[in-house]
Chain A
Amino acid sequence: MFKKILIANRGEIALRIVRACKELGVRTVAVHSEADARALHVRFADEAVCIGPAPASKSYLNIPAIISAAEITAADAIHPGYGFLSENAEFARICEKCGLRFIGPTPEGMRAWGDKVTARANAERYGLPLLAGTGVLRDIAHAIDEAKRIGFPVIIKASGGGGGRGMRVVRSEEDIESSFLSASREAESGFRNPDVFLEKFVERPKHIEFQVLADGQGKVWTLGERECSLQRRHQKIVEEAPSPVMTEELRREMGDVIRKAVRETGYRSLGTLEFIMDEHRDLYFLEMNTRVQVEHPVTEMATGLDLVALQIKVAAGDEVDLPDTRPWSFRGHAIECRINAEDPKSFAPWPGLITEYHPPGGTGVRIDSGVYGGWKVPSDYDSLLAKLIVHAPTRNEALIRMRRALGEFIIGGIRTNIPLHKKLMDDREMISGEMTTRTIERLLAEDSDADRPPSSVE
């Protein structure tokens, strides 16, 4: 086991890592920007080093400063958390070169699965289901042929970039020509590359992901799935484990295929394979995240495992004492709500001073948070304040518990999305378990319809 771990992150995940280290008997070094000098993870770590001013590029993304901090504190490993440098293969390589163990995959493992193209190639090789798609489309005739082969609806996407640019959903053959041309034009102006390709379009997908742990020496465990369909603009807002629509059979089937793929590519550490599920309950591989995820607590609560501790043990080459390689079984149901510092209607970020802070508690309630009363939420980083996680024997009881916990959560001085979460826990799609990535959009549209004053009768 390591003697000292440097935590190259901030906020709730940095505190999470400090906690795991304390229980493992490992000393901790918190690196922080000037804006985070009074952060919780800084105060609870054994040592702290200020590495730069507030901007992430000069602090949490500042590789020389982080390596220097590891040097002067004689840390022997670095935990990158999520975001920031956690999926930066170059940083992983530099750590190894400087004699510091990077707590995550090897740089090769990260590149193999982190890059979308090679990940898809791996998925194909090991029999993970993929969305039907094409290479670059030569012309309109080619587009039509491929669209008919794949089956409508399809989506035309730009090769050169994402973010919604150069994307057109096409529902029938007669719309291909105009969509192809306008998508190409947009791609050209956005990325200086007019190339587009086609993919099957799933109208109302569910987002399902599978948690894996690999020791890099041939043992891989699949630790069940999470559903993260409640999203806004591709940001997850609510997650749960297990998925209300997963069957034992599908979980077992996916577990077998995933374990083989992860084992045979020599991957080490925690990882999450993300899929979309269509209305027929078929799964399609999207990508793999080669790090610990924000929503890991729902898996922890519903399996009784400490994923961060396991990740550290695997990195240290310690024996991991998990029973066997069959898919993990769940006990009860866990839901997580991401509490953000933002206006609940406009979603504008809301930094500022937290004047009072009273988190919920009681049976089956867990809070992962880096904030406290008196903490000044800086404007330089993401808006996540806290993760509110509940666990209960059944999904329905978990919903009831979440409603109760949201009602107790007091955060004064700034605006938060707690009101949105209260609405979500009462939403019919959430209650039925049929929610998709379009649910929040629908709920917000209904909301603004309700807000609009009634039009006068003619």
Chain B
Amino acid sequence: MSWDPDKLRSLFDLLIEKDITEFEHEDEGARVRIVRGKVAVATFSHTEAAPSAATVDAEHRGQQARGGADHRGASRGADDDVEVTSPFVGTFYRSPTPDSPSFVEVGSLVRPGQALCIIEAMKLMNEIESDISGTITEVCVPNGKAVEFGQKLFRIKKA
């Protein structure tokens, strides 16, 4: 199922007209979730039939977890980059509000304690901070995507 811009526009209009803050619909593997208000972000995900992307990540992570560190979900990748992994199940947001710029981009310099992203779980916004100084080399998850525990969020090249 692919989304239809006109359908979407009338959907948005309807939500605003009726002042609906949250809307979710799923149909044969494609899910739409729209949240208005403090976090007004529209998300689309096409979940694949087995194996789902989450499952594939889980298998990969299962192998990493055996050797990896657990503290705040940071672990060493093969090429000396540090991976920041999600400490929660939730939704990943790259910026504090939908209108503001992302916390970080590829190439951004980060310091310990600096906010990298938000993981929203049960309406609570959790800021995820960097443990180290370095440069962002990869942003691993698109904005608004659901993430699971241990999912790779960023790669940081240690300073």
Give chain A's interface residues, CB within 8 Å of chain B. 3-4, 32, 34-35, 37-38, 42-43, 46-53, 59, 64-65, 67-69, 71-74, 98
Contact = CB atoms under 8 A, between A and B. Distances in A.
A38 B89 contact: no
B26 A43 contact: no
B55 interface: yes
Given A37-B62, A73-B146, A68 B55 contact: no
B148 A69 contact: yes
A65 B89 contact: yes
A50 B59 contact: no
B121 A64 contact: yes
Given A50-B61, A64-B122, 18 more contacts: A32-B58, A34-B150, A37-B58, A37-B59, A38-B62, A42-B55, A46-B49, A46-B52, A47-B55, A48-B58, A49-B146, A50-B58, A52-B149, A53-B150, A65-B149, A69-B89, A72-B146, A98-B122
A65 B148 CA distance: 9
A67 B81 CA distance: 32
A64 B146 CA distance: 15
B130 interface: no
A51 B61 contact: no
A65 B62 contact: no
Interface in B50-85: 50-52, 54-55, 57-59, 61-62, 65, 70
A141 B12 CA distance: 79
A69 B122 CA distance: 10
Interface residues of B, number: 29
A51 B149 CA distance: 5
Contacts of A50: 54, 57-58, 61, 89, 148-151
B103 interface: no
B24 interface: yes
Task: Identify the interface centre among A32, A47, A51, A52: most chain B CB within 10 Å of its CB.
Answer: A47
A50 B54 CA distance: 8
Nearest to A50: B148
A37 to B, nearest CB: 3
Contacts of A46: 49-50, 52
Contacts of B89: 49-51, 65, 68-69, 72
Contacts of A47: 47, 52, 54-55
Nearest to B146: A72
A43 B55 contact: yes
B91 interface: yes
Contacts of A4: 26
Contacts of B62: 34-35, 37-38
A68 B121 contact: yes
A51 B54 CA distance: 11
A73 B52 CA distance: 12
Contact of A71 (B49, B55, B59, B122): B122
A34 B64 CA distance: 10
B88 A65 contact: yes
Contacts of B151: 50
Nearest to A58: B149
Contacts of A49: 54, 89, 146, 148-149
Nearest to B31: A74
A67 B151 CA distance: 18
A71 B55 CA distance: 17
B134 interface: no
A52 B31 CA distance: 24
A53 to B, nearest CB: 6
Interface in B15-62: 24, 26, 31, 33, 47, 49-52, 54-55, 57-59, 61-62
A50 B62 CA distance: 10
A3 B26 contact: yes
